[in-house]
Structure 1
Amino acid sequence: MKSAQHASLISRLVEVVGSDHVLTADEAISAHLADWRGRYRGAAICVVRPASTAEVSAVVRACAQVGVAMVPQGGNTSLCGAATPAPEGDAVLISLSRLRRVRAIDPANNTMTVEAGCVLQTLQEAAAQAGRLFPLSLAAEGSCQIGGNLSTNAGGVQVLRYGNTRELTLGLEVVLPSGEIWDGLRGLRKDNTGYDLKQLFIGAEGTLGIISAAVVKLFPLPRAIATAWLAIASPTQAVRLLGDLQARFGALLTACELVSDLALGLVRKHFPGSQASFSASPWYLLVELSGGDDDQSLRQTLEAFLGEALESGTVSDAVVAQSGEQARRLWALRENIGEAQKLEGVSIKHDVSVPISRIPEFVERAGRELAQSFPEIRIVAFGHIGDGNLHYNQSKSQAGENAVFIAAQPAVNRIVYDLVHELGGSISAEHGIGQLKRDELLRYKSPLEIEMMRAIKRTLDPQGLMNPGKVL
């Protein structure tokens, strides 16, 4: 589009949302144009901030009528560049941050209806005020928005018990690429009336439409929580412990997180206040139980289990949190890994999943092959062993060497992703595809799967205007 056409579109958008919410100045839109990791930076005609589903619809219609691409954006915490526009600057970036109402809470139905711009932590707090739990929990929960969580099918630390975002969602409201509004806000756990259309948009990263609201599941607030940090020898021990924990505690097991010594070391380095009063070990597990009658009895039950594990040698050391504050400190050791890596410098990041039974094989083989090809490589491994999802990241300690290493990312990816594929895994467990893994998807998805995805895209977005260049 020419500048005159840009100006005309901007004028139409101002009519829809008001001049205060159509941003064009460089200083006003700069933060929207780069991803959280600093890997991607784009440009845009403007940033528009609608405040309602009707305004989102009007914005989309205005862009579609003149053939202008649209990039939806929530909290801009994407780790794969899914919410960053292309450098050409020929798209309108649609920020959903003003759609932040909790529309309704139905405690009897255990559901909550929320708008896409609600920050995840706000949902958690609103549910708690109603005596309920919204269990989606991840490191970015203080800034990420539920629309982005839905669009990437976010996972987090409690997938083991409650499932990922897809499993926590009952209904959606979506603005289609035409500007039409699909109202699928149904709080039903049983609705067998044909295709489950909401599943098309969850995990689609805004390429099929813009999620404007959702009905999500709530759960009873757990009366008791017990948290422990365990020192273990290997991922093999971790898998064995996971099985033992599941056999002993069943649905009480909420989270089981694997952390390598190098990952913990980065947290200690960049967060000097981190407390970790346990023995050094090659690997660690962070375990949480929730449920039961009270904290003390649940904690005692966990301590009895850990006593047996210490006697058998399955665990070499264990710390059980004696208060909520101690539990938060243990969780901070896990949740600060991502930020510590960012402070340490650029790394090659992989968000992969394999069958839980094959995690030890993946860690051993991938580490050996990477070390052979890239001597003195640092591998930061951590993640959700309870659902087979590992964050598996690599770098070099010296800045100059690391720059050369980062340039070798395609070769690193081949080693990691080819092994993941061989083991029956996925190259993206919870972060999505975005720009980062778009080409990799073509390598590991079958031609039939890719064509089925493209057929859905052509049907819902025939002009190809919705978040172009992402996923496909």
Structure 2
Amino acid sequence: MTQAAFLTACRNAIGATQVLTDPHDTAPYLTDWRRRYTGAACAVLCPATPDEVAALVKLAVEHRIALVPQGGNTGLAGGATPDASGAQAVISLRRLNRVRDIDPHNNTITVEAGVILAEVQRHAAEAGRLFPLSLAAEGSCTIGGNLATNAGGTGVLRYGNTRELCLGLEVVTAQGELWDGLRGLRKDNTGYDLRDLFIGAEGTLGIITAAVLKLHPQPAARVTALAALASPHAALDFLSLTQRVAGPLLTGFELMSDFCLRLVGRHFEQMRYPFAEPHAQVVLLELSDSESEEHARGLFERLMETALEEGLVEDAVVAENLTQSRAFWNLREHIPLAQAEEGLNIKHDIAVPISRIGHFIEETDAAIAQAVPGVRMVTFGHLGDGNLHYNVQAPEGVDAKAFLKTWQSPINQLVYDSVHRHRGSISAEHGLGQLKIDEAMHYKQDIEVQLMRAVKHALDPLNLMNPGKVLR
């Protein structure tokens, strides 16, 4: 069987205009978001329905063509980029972009895999509901990609990862069969949880084509604040106090080091440092109240009074309006942009048990500083769920490319060894893709890898579903 025969069959199945082979047309699909990986493909396939996806998978099986599923192509680990052989085909889910149903009584929305995350949020809001998944790429990432990587974001503390927000899936299997699991049930004890098997699998077991997602009531008020603290240990104590006082109203608790905010101010002059004096750590916290803004602000005032009295917080400022709240969140969201402006850096998306975060930062910072004096640590992330973006910027005045070439591998090993000692994960919310596959195989137990391989072989015996990702 030849590629030419495969492409002819694909054109017959979905239309010639939806089988892209011209380099100008395929280029946007072949390079990952960070421009770390660029692959080649025999074609980019653009089906419009789950049945068309199923037909293409059957053709791929017949012609032994590997498929690389892709959504918005906003992934950060190269999971949706083909290899360099030119033998694989990218299958883009962007045309599967229908909102099929909104059920306010069941608090669910059923959407196809190519629907943009921001569109899901908008449709939920129009129905008087909240879809709480929120992350920087929400204007371009797709629900299929969010599910494939089990995306996290800023609301995990209250609402959970994407897995916790999904009740049912529709999936095209590696054999081209369509499984309709769009049941929308909170309780279903009828066997293996196939839904959770496909979520987070990065398209290596099958292709997600639609999902039933949980909705929540819209909060009556959101109140945002910044709190300055002396250390990550103080931030953890403050988190415990906040959870005790606010309970389920706490929806965001983001940690940002002093250097993170200084970096934002350096490259985005309109974003001022929020306090008169420097502080080692700053926490951005948000409460979502179902009662009223007055109730939320009263709760905030009691929380801050207690935190200041107990010496946990050195200073604090509460947003007075939506504009100021947005400005607080902009500080947090511009940290990755400021890093990019500062130059290439070594990124880590890690998770450790929440109680270990302070010790992890202290020990790992010290080890990296000893190895490379003068490095600058850009540490920020979702403290409330144990996920840190633990990034390393080159010393001032050092060429960033040369720094990465020399130090990326040694620093990665330092960080990942420390994560492993603290019983953490080397990928918290970005997935493994092709970026971290070797490290994952190194740190996982042999039995864990064997079980993963058994699942992969059982569901995709021909290894045609996104090969070379997640698992070797």
TM-score over 0.5 (shorter chain): yes
Question: Residue 465 of structure 1 aligns to which amino acid in structure 2?
Answer: L
SS in structure 1 of the partner of residue 346 of structure 2: coil
The aligned counterpart of 1:376 is: 374
The aligned counterpart of 2:58 is: 61
The aligned counterpart of 1:126 is: 123
**Over residues 223-246 of structure 1, what are the superposed CA-to-partner deviations in whole Å (9 max), with x where a residue is unaligned?**
111100111111001000000000
Question: Residue 425 of structure 1 aligns to which amino acid in structure 2?
Answer: G
The aligned counterpart of 1:106 is: 103
The aligned counterpart of 1:147 is: 144
Would you say how many aligned residue pairs link Structure 1 and Structure 2?
A: 469
Map residues 29-68 of structure 1 onto 2, 5 A cutoff.
29-68=26-65
Please state how far the C-alpha of 1:276 moved relative to its aligned partner: 4.0
In 1, Cα distance between the equivalents of 2:237 and 2:310? 12
In 2, Cα distance between the equivalents of 1:270 and 1:9? 49
In 2, Cα distance between the equivalents of 1:333 and 1:463? 47
Map residues 72-471 of structure 1 onto 2, 5 A cutoff.
72-279=69-276, 280-397=278-395, 401-407=399-405, 408-471=407-470
Question: Residue 18 of structure 1 aligns to which amino acid in structure 2?
Answer: G
**Over residues 104-161 of structure 1, what are the superposed CA-to-partner deviations in whole Å (9 max), with x where a residue is unaligned?**
0110001110100011111011101001111111111111111000000111111111
**Over residues 361-391 of structure 1, what are the superposed CA-to-partner deviations in whole Å (9 max), with x where a residue is unaligned?**
0000000000000111111100011011101
SS in structure 1 of the partner of residue 377 of structure 2: strand
Asked if the contact 1:34/1:42 (under 8 Å) is kept, the reply is yes
Structure 1: any 5+ residue segments left out of the alignment? none
In 2, Cα distance between the equivalents of 1:402 and 1:424? 31
Asked if the contact 1:138/1:157 (under 8 Å) is kept, the reply is yes
SS in structure 2 of the partner of residue 147 of structure 1: helix
Please state how far the C-alpha of 1:358 moved relative to its aligned partner: 0.6
Please state how far the C-alpha of 1:399 moved relative to its aligned partner: 7.0
**Over residues 429-455 of structure 1, what are the superposed CA-to-partner deviations in whole Å (9 max), with x where a residue is unaligned?**
111111011001111111100010000
Asked if the contact 1:232/1:317 (under 8 Å) is kept, the reply is yes
In 1, Cα distance between the equivalents of 2:393 and 2:265? 18
SS in structure 2 of the partner of residue 150 of structure 1: helix
Question: Residue 263 of structure 1 aligns to which amino acid in structure 2?
Answer: C
TM-score, normalised relative to structure 2: 0.97
SS in structure 2 of the partner of residue 78 of structure 1: coil
SS in structure 2 of the partner of residue 302 of structure 1: helix
Please state how far the C-alpha of 1:339 moved relative to its aligned partner: 2.4
In 2, Cα distance between the equivalents of 1:435 and 1:65? 26
In 2, Cα distance between the equivalents of 1:20 and 1:397? 50
In 2, Cα distance between the equivalents of 1:24 and 1:85? 14
Which aligned segments of 4 or more residues in structure 1 are displaced greater than 3 angstroms? 397-401
Question: Residue 109 of structure 1 aligns to which amino acid in structure 2?
Answer: N
Change (3 A) 1:437 1:265: same
SS in structure 1 of the partner of residue 271 of structure 2: coil
SS in structure 1 of the partner of residue 330 of structure 2: helix
Asked if the contact 2:99/2:115 (under 8 Å) is kept, the reply is yes
In 2, Cα distance between the equivalents of 1:270 and 1:65? 53
Asked if the contact 2:158/2:250 (under 8 Å) is kept, the reply is yes
Asked if the contact 2:169/2:211 (under 8 Å) is kept, the reply is yes
SS in structure 2 of the partner of residue 339 of structure 1: helix
Asked if the contact 1:115/1:212 (under 8 Å) is kept, the reply is yes
The aligned counterpart of 2:11 is: 14
Asked if the contact 2:32/2:75 (under 8 Å) is kept, the reply is yes
In 2, Cα distance between the equivalents of 1:91 and 1:266? 41
Structure 2: any 5+ residue segments left out of the alignment? none
Asked if the contact 2:262/2:273 (under 8 Å) is kept, the reply is no
Asked if the contact 1:353/1:388 (under 8 Å) is kept, the reply is yes
Identity of aligned residues (%): 55
Change (3 A) 1:104 1:409: same
SS in structure 2 of the partner of residue 54 of structure 1: helix
Asked if the contact 1:185/1:215 (under 8 Å) is kept, the reply is yes
Asked if the contact 1:75/1:148 (under 8 Å) is kept, the reply is yes
In 1, Cα distance between the equivalents of 2:290 and 2:180? 39
